[in-house]
Amino acid sequence: MDGPVSRSRATRRYPSPPTAASGIPSSGDRARDALLGGVTGAGAGNGYANGGAGAGAYTNEYLLEQHNNEYVEHLTGKMSLLREITLQIGDEVNSQNEMLSGMNESMTKTGSLLSSTIGRVGDLLKQGNNMWYCYFIVFVFVLFTMLYLWLKVR
């Protein structure tokens, strides 16, 4: 045979391996034939590629196709797992953003409360009546003394 042998897409067939028990094509064969446009050419009906050239070529192509299908199923499973993980990460990011927004609002409120309290204490000290200052120092001293005694007894 001189020259390369060319096979068109229409003459290719990827059926299940023929068994001795039945020559009936399986549902996978019918689905593949429907996808690839049916079987035409010299190899139609005998279950072998290249018009019955031999079981070796048929088996090799079938095994490669089966191997590719397994890889496709494996990759599909991994893609769905990655999609689920991505959705879970998105949900977690959204919930943490809401939590951070709430914390920001709380910190803003606490900061304004603290600044207004410090402003009031400053106003008390500016009034000129230093008795408030002395009362405050005595109160803090008594508070820390009571706290120290309470922790020591406990």
Give me the number of domains the chain comprises.
Answer: 1
pLDDT digits (tens, 9 = 90+) for 13-69: 444 444 444 445 555 566 666 566 554 444 444 444 444 455 566 788 889 999 999
Q: Note whether residue 91 is domain-resident.
A: yes
**Residues 59, 16 contacting (CB under 8 angstroms):** no
CA atoms of 150 and 154, how far apart (whole Å): 6
Q: Note whether residue 15 is domain-resident.
A: no
pLDDT digits (tens, 9 = 90+) for 73-94: 999 999 999 999 999 999 999 9
Q: Note whether residue 105 is domain-resident.
A: yes
Q: What is the pTM of this model?
A: 0.40
Q: Note whether residue 24 is domain-resident.
A: no
CA atoms of 15 and 31, how far apart (whole Å): 10
Q: Note whether residue 65 is domain-resident.
A: yes
Q: Note whether residue 36 is domain-resident.
A: no
